[in-house]
Amino acid sequence: MTRLDAGPVEETTESAVECDGPRSVMLEAREVPLGGVRAMDVRRALPQRDLPMVGAWCFLDRFGPQRALMRVEPHPHIGLQTVTWPFEGVVRHRDSLGSDVLISRGALNLMTSGAGISHSEYSVTDEPIPLDALQLWVALPESRRHGAPAFEQHASLPQLTLPAVTGERAEAVVVMGEFAGTTSPASAFTPLVGAEVRVPAGSRVRVPLHPEWEYAIVGVDGDLRVTTDADTTETVGDMQLLYLGIQRDGIDVHSASGATFFLLGGEPFEDEIVMWWNFVGRSHEEIVAAREEWEAHSARFGRVADHGDVRVPAPPLPAVRLRRRGRRL
Ligand code: MN
């Protein structure tokens, strides 16, 4: 995906808070027009003003469920991986490495930008079709973010079950990283997890967590209830993000009529990042340079075949310096 808006400019000067224990903070997704001639709306759960990242996860959009004609023209990325996890519909991905693939439910598209890549995303027909997917970004660590771009698709991902406290066992798909001892084959460069978990109707399960990682639960559908401490149970609706903090070895979830959620987590990220438009960097200067290179058609971002001169222009830079994004949770 691309961002038509460049995102809010963070002007906080307070120093970053380091999360030091469990939290239970409900954060709402916001509606964002993706723009273009045929506008699509997405709901964005990350970044949040008070929470720029969960582990290395720095961005989470859901487009859908909606009927739409997706035409996201070539646009650049730096310093991140895009993780596309469809629920419904077929999307064609093309990139400057020459990849040209279709993706649908059950498969993962993982694009590692390294220092620079460009790609386009189209729905497969010329008519609007039902579309629903998550797209997340993972910030790359210093050791990988200057490297070569890469693209991989995983049509089959590891599945596991979580034992039931009551009712039936939950089923999980490990999309990225490691969950409950099972590791996704998708390339990851920091310790993290992205997993889809389905809780059957009338069931309660314990979700195992690493105490040294931070986590969040994002509602996908159904009635999900999360017991965050002895006295508190939160209801997590569709695209609400419940931030759980760190130092938990597990958390209880249950559902009366069945629910699906996405678990995000990982080791707290090593650096504060500067995120603007489709770029993740460490400084204002890096972002300005990437923007200028995209606008100058630099070889840094290659070329997506069969799009002619059609591409997404970079938005204007804000008048103020881009700042690193500290957290307040
Ligand atoms: Mn994109």
The pTM (predicted TM-score) of the whole model is 0.95
Distance 157 CA to ligand 1 centre (A): 22
In whole angstroms, how large is the CA radius of gyration of the chain? Answer: 19
Cβ pair 163, 207 in contact under 8 A:
no
Distance 2 CA to ligand 1 centre (A): 5
CATH 3.30.230.10 fits 30-156, yes or no: no
Half-sphere exposure in the Cβ direction for 118 (13 Å, CA): 26
Looking at CATH, the fold of the domain delimited by 159-266 is given as Jelly Rolls (2.60.120)
pLDDT confidence of residue 13: 46
User: How does pLDDT run along the chain (329 residues), one tens digit per residue?
Assistant: 677 666 655 544 455 678 899 999 999 999 998 765 556 789 999 999 999 999 999 999 999 999 999 999 999 999 999 999 999 999 999 999 999 999 999 999 999 999 999 999 999 999 999 999 999 999 999 999 999 999 999 999 999 999 999 999 999 999 999 999 999 999 999 999 999 999 999 999 999 999 999 999 999 999 999 999 999 999 999 999 999 999 999 999 999 999 999 999 999 999 999 999 999 999 999 999 999 999 999 999 999 999 999 999 999 999 999 998 888 88
CA–CA dist 128, 110 (Å, integer): 25
CA–CA dist 238, 261 (Å, integer): 9
| 159-266 shares the fold of 30-156 | yes
156 to 81, 104, 138, 153, 196: CA distances (angstroms):
19, 11, 20, 9, 14
What are the residue boundaries of the structural domains of the chain, listed by start? 30-156, 159-266
Distance 109 CA to ligand 1 centre (A): 11
Distance 290 CA to ligand 1 centre (A): 15
Distance 311 CA to ligand 1 centre (A): 12
Distance 75 CA to ligand 1 centre (A): 6
Distance 207 CA to ligand 1 centre (A): 31
Distance 248 CA to ligand 1 centre (A): 33
User: 9 — phi, psi (to 5°)?
Assistant: -85, 120
Three-state secondary-structure class, residue 239: coil
pLDDT confidence of residue 5: 66
106 beta partners: none
